[in-house]
Amino acid sequence: MTSTLHVDSVTKDFGSVRAVEDVSFTVDEGKFVTLLGPSGCGKTTTLRMIAGFETPTEGRVRLGDHDITMEEPYLRPTSMVFQSYALFPHKTVGENVGFGLKMRDVPADERSDRIAKMLDLIELPGIEDRGIDELSGGQQQRVALARALITEPEVLLLDEPLGALDLKLRKNMQVELKNLQEELGITFVYVTHDQEEALTMSDEIIILNEGEIEQRGTPTEIYESPRTRFVADFIGDTNLLDGTYVENGNAAIVECGSVDVPIDSLSAATDGQSLSVSIRPEKIALGDGAGNGNGNSVTLRGEVEDVIYQGNVAKVHVTIDGTELVLEQQVIDTVNLPTPGSECTISWDQENTNVLTG
């Protein structure tokens, strides 16, 4: 039996506030899918409806053929890890981790065995009798994870579980969590507002904006081929140019102020329509000839406005008759950085121009 998670046309209103609007997605068994979006876009509410802490105003939640929309949280084969950990402060580590088993009337002997196994899994063996306040933030996070996993959920729901950790620990935990997920083969639905975290960990990313899905795809698809202005802007740095579509036989351009950006002609666009394009800074090179000779190269002449040295890379701001583009250059040798005020040629492979349709 496969237990694909189905979120079907789910809407959630809190009074007059629509937190989630007609959201549908599926997550195949054993996949790591991340809901990514800015604060307030409906991530937590979506997760809480899957967990059963909120009831959808409209729509259904299913696991395989099993409709769980109205089922009590503790009866669902789901488990949730909260950003705040939500550990019981006056219970020991062992009591916290074993809580879900006690709720399910698992006998004390079996409970102890399974608690010990979980503490091994999170690499904190033998700390059953410690108090929660004796643990560091990172350790508390692991205990919260163990508490969620001990009931052997089919779907683990994680709401910004690394949000309270400092950067270095967070990066380590990202890798550990991803490894653990692969080892256990459990479906993970992960929530974060941190795009780098989402790109690092996920099989697929679902971008939410104001309660609605903007785009779903693999990290590569989301980063390399954003389809909307929102996604292009939210994920990574980019050059966003707003312009007008002008058809020219098989080819076309988007007139963006002083810059004409050539694109393939679009059957879905009409002459004179407003359109935006996005080009990632690291896709633009100084000099001509970007694109390995395969695709069409876009070449423009401009002036170096500013060079911002960032250690491994430098951001080079170039103006083309008043329109600014930023390109990113690997710093192999600081001597070769361009000089502000100098004339320059920039180029990129036309394939790296993303036409944004929404």
Given the complex with Mg ion, which of 192 and 215 has the nearer CB atom?
A: 192
Nearer to ligand ADP, 35 or 356 (CB): 35
Q: How far is the CB of 201 from ligand ADP (least distance, A)?
A: 18
- Least distance CB 213 / Mg ion (angstroms): 16
Size of the site for ligand ADP (CB under 6 A): 11
- Report the DSSP pairing between strands 187-192 and 155-159: parallel
Name which of ligand ADP, Mg ion, none residue 14 binds, using a CB cut-off of 5 to 8 Å depending on partner kind. ligand ADP
276 touches Mg ion by CB under 5 A: no
Q: Are 40 and 101 in contact (CB under 8 A)?
A: no
Binders in 17-56 for ligand ADP, by CB under 6 A: 17, 19, 37, 39-45
Alpha helices (H) in 61-218, listed in sequence order: 93-97, 99-103, 108-121, 137-149, 167-184, 195-201
Stretch in the footprint of Mg ion (CB under 5 A) among 40-48, 100-108, 110-118, 197-205: 40-48
Q: How far is the CB of 160 from Mg ion (least distance, A)?
A: 6
Q: CA-to-CA distance for 287 and 172, rounded, in angstroms?
A: 39
Helix or strand (DSSP H, E) at 71: none
> Whose structure tokens read 């052997």?
152
The one among 34, 44, 276, 278 contacting Mg ion by CB under 5 A: 44
How far is residue 351's CA from residue 293's CA, in Å, rounded to a whole number? 12
Neighbouring C-beta atoms of residue 168, cutoff 10 Å? 8
Residue 192, contacted partner among Mg ion, ligand ADP, none, CB below 5-8 A by kind:
none
The 3 state secondary structure assigned to 309-351 is ECCCEEEEEEEECCEEEEEEEECCCHHHCCCCCCEEEEEEEHH
Measured from the CB atom, is 45 or 79 closer to ligand ADP?
45
**Within a 10 A sphere around the Cβ of 35, how many other Cβ atoms?**
28
Closer CB to ligand ADP, 39 or 334, in the complex? 39
**Interface contacts to ligand ADP, rule CB under 6 A:** 14, 17, 19, 37, 39-45
Binding site for Mg ion (CB under 5 A): 44
